[in-house]
Structure 1
Amino acid sequence: MSAPHASRFGDPSRPAVVALGGGHGLSASLSALRLMTDRITAVVTVADDGGSSGRLREELGVLPPGDLRMALSALCDDSEWGRTWRDLLQHRFSSDGPLDRHSVGNLLIVALWELFGDTVEGLDLVGRLLGARGRVLPMASVPLRIEADVVGPAGERDVVRGQTHVATTGWRIAQLRLDPVDPPACPEAVDAVREADWVVLGPGSWYTSVLPHLLVPALRAALLETTARVVVVLNLTPDDETAGMRAVDHLAVLRAHAPELPVHAVVADPASVEDVDELADLCATMGAQLLVRQVRRGDQSAVHDPLRLAAALRDVVEDYLGDVGTRTGR
């Protein structure tokens, strides 16, 4: 199992990285990772049931394409050609008819799926059109539904179903599930995790974009068995589904849903950490290095800065290589 990691020592400037997530959070990590390497695979959640994606999913029975489209757009070639096609993919219609709020990219992706009958081939074709700096894959081969056990302010309990409802529940999420509970993972995504040098989890909607990857059995097994190093990038601010949660709580929830997952590094912005010592202690119990570094934009908005996040992730990689070099006498 050591062969896949020879690239860390042979060409550390081009690590093979798998980024897990969905939506704007995954776009943020991809925008940073593309500054580090061109060996990127985005593994994207497929549980969206709202907006254009939800309508196409319900009408045609396809995977929701929206988060896949956003990941492809984040990896587009930095040229006039790539940016033009990215803008076209992201363009939304505005009308009083059935096309209202549909994105061109969602329609294009679904059309290619119908033409070729192959989800991965269709996504690869869009990637070629964009000159994408990496590959985008779904985490599962079938559309998923997220379910959550939630607890209200007075201790009352309920079950919330559907990504949109889970994301906006307003109640504390106690436990997460997928329907179906044993979905088939995308084989190419499983292979990518097994062959990776690094796996990046987060940032993003913690319960509806980050944690679902750990609930797909074959993908979870790959994450536990891979020799890749796992990096968790914490969010800058809580969102609706994590209201009231601190940085340490996000990491604790991740550990609760996958206690056996090895985490090697955690990246956090100092303005988002209430108690650095508490977070450092939790990281230590997990065997993870904590890197507290400003990774938000200079205007202090709750948006990751690609250059700063890339620099932080590069430091994590270089620190690990230095530690390995020390241990091996290099």
Structure 2
Amino acid sequence: MRSAGPPTVAALGGGHGLAATLSALRLLTDDVTAIVTVADNGGSSGRLRSEFGVLPPGDLRMALAALCDDTEWGHAWRDVMQHRFEGTGSLAGHALGNLLIVALWEIYDDPVAGLELVGRLLGARGRVLPMASVPLDIEADVREGERLRRVVGQAQVATSPGRVESVRITPENPPAYPESVAAIRAADWVVLGPGSWFTSVMPHLLVPDLRDALRATRARRVLVLNLDLPAGETEGRSAHELILSFAEYAGDVRLDAVVVDPTVAADRDTLRIVAQSVGAELVVATVSSRSNPGQHDPLRLAAALQDLFSGR
């Protein structure tokens, strides 16, 4: 790994969780690559995916917006990209950025080239890549009481009541973009999470090319744990159970650090033991937002990551 200058970072995830990580990382380096989930089947992304047979653009759009240049130009185009149409017509609910991305994909017939153009428009401080070259579907076994049922679809799994027991993707062995694999292998640091745990974070470990790259890379690997554990896909799970779920899907991929906020680190001895079982140092740091409980604060997360990057 390089020892001088800003680090090269690959960030894996999707949705608001990845956007929070990117908002922190852009304060530390311009050399960041977001590798984004492509399994969304709900809302505007799901409609466009179904109608045009494309990768769902929503999480990719959010990642690009999070990396926008910190200027009037960058902020203006970020807001344009994030604008969502209202009303009851055919455009209702669509984010303008989703439509722009799909239009560029039709013109250039190359998702990576289209995303690069949007990044140039935003003055993005980094680049955004899909984690797979085909749209994925999430399947999960969800336990509700004594009943174990199969739930299909990212949106359905994310909102299904009960405890997610296991998750898988279809197709089972999707091809990853070579650029995504190369970004992981070339990174100094790889950051996974936070985010929708079983539908945005863990699926990266189910793409064989990405898992192999995570195993082979010389980068140091950091897992950022969620904050609002009682809600959504992590309902009923403790922080150390999230680390164990990583181990379940990661196979022999090891970690170097696990970042956890004090609000979800009640049993630090157990957390430390479980983190060590996957090779990681436990880093307890205040990364939560004062004004938005349950969300990561970009400045605080940036400070915690900077301490890791600099070896403090």
Q: Output the TM-score relative to the length of structure 2.
A: 0.98
Partner of 1:219: 210
Matches within 5 A, 1:220-235: 220-235=211-226
Partner of 1:88: 80
Decide which moves more: 169-178 or 139-148. Answer: 169-178
Equivalent of 2:15 in 19, 23, 47: 23
Equivalent of 1:251 in 238, 243, 265: 243
Partner of 1:326: none
1:62 matches 2:79: no
Q: Which runs of 4+ in 1 moved over 6 A?
A: none
1: CA distance between counterparts of 2:218 and 2:150? Answer: 36
1:195 matches 2:189: no
2: CA distance between counterparts of 1:215 and 1:248? Answer: 21
2: CA distance between counterparts of 1:189 and 1:118? Answer: 14
Partner of 2:172: 181
Amino acid at match of 1:162: G
Provide the secondary structure at the position in 1 that maps to 2:248: helix
Amino acid at match of 2:34: A
2: CA distance between counterparts of 1:120 and 1:309? Answer: 28
**Structure 2 runs not aligned, ≥5 long:** none
Amino acid at match of 1:131: G
Partner of 1:205: 196
1:10 matches 2:4: yes
Measure how far apart 1:122 and its partner are.
0.1
The CA deviation string for residues 116-138 of structure 1, in whole angstroms up to 9 with x for no partner, is 11000000000000000000000
Partner of 1:327: none
Partner of 2:159: 168
Provide the secondary structure at the position in 2 that maps to 1:146: strand
2: CA distance between counterparts of 1:298 and 1:282? Answer: 28
Measure how far apart 1:284 and its partner are.
1.7
2: CA distance between counterparts of 1:39 and 1:174? Answer: 36
2: CA distance between counterparts of 1:300 and 1:80? Answer: 25
Partner of 1:328: none
Partner of 1:151: 143
Q: How many aligned positions are there? A: 311
Measure how far apart 1:299 and its partner are.
3.4
Measure how far apart 1:259 and its partner are.
3.1
- Kept after mapping to 2: 8 A contact 1:246/1:274: no
Provide the secondary structure at the position in 2 that maps to 1:85: helix
The CA deviation string for residues 81-105 of structure 1, in whole angstroms up to 9 with x for no partner, is 0000000000011122110010100
Amino acid at match of 2:245: V
Provide the secondary structure at the position in 1 that maps to 2:259: strand
**Structure 1 runs not aligned, ≥5 long:** 323-330
| Sequence identity (%) | 59
Partner of 1:240: 232
- Kept after mapping to 2: 8 A contact 1:28/1:306: yes
2: CA distance between counterparts of 1:82 and 1:300? Answer: 24
Amino acid at match of 2:77: W
1: CA distance between counterparts of 2:203 and 2:86? Answer: 32
2: CA distance between counterparts of 1:306 and 1:226? Answer: 26
Measure how far apart 1:300 and its partner are.
6.2
Partner of 2:68: 76
Provide the secondary structure at the position in 2 that maps to 1:181: coil
